[in-house]
Amino acid sequence: MPPERFSPDDPREWMNRARSSLAQARHRIGEIYLEDLCFVAQQAAEKAIKAVLLHSGVRFPYVHDLAELVTLMERAGHMPPARVRESSRLTRYAVETRYPGLSEPLTEEEYLEALAIAEAVVRWADELIRGQK
């Protein structure tokens, strides 16, 4: 059953989208390129970070640069754990791996690392927004 929907300015809706992207990134079937799974892992982290920014009342640009978004979070007073700060490594999956010829095929190790980072970001953001951190 799909999650309850909220308005676009509600951080819970951004977290719904982050969890949806993460579920897609975990759905590994034979015909899906690892590059595509890493793209949706990056999207999960990006949406979760933007949820935290929205939750904190911080306006954010519609960019894919996770280092820039993490910096905005830190300026808002959130000091994410190291694994969340590592999300900047996912930025490359937002564009260069989405199109043929812009990067080399990704390895299983790169995919698993991207997925682990995205999971950590989504978990941290979810806990923060629910008031557990």
CATH number of 22's domain: 1.20.120.330
Per-residue pLDDT of 81-96, as tens digits, reads 999 999 999 999 998 8
In a domain, 81, yes or no: yes
Q: Name the token pair of 100.
A: 């043929």
Per-residue pLDDT of 2-15, as tens digits, reads 789 999 999 999 99
62 is in which domain, residue-wise? 11-129
pTM for the predicted model, two decimal places:
0.93
Task: Give percent above pLDDT 90 in the chain.
Answer: 81
In a domain, 116, yes or no: yes
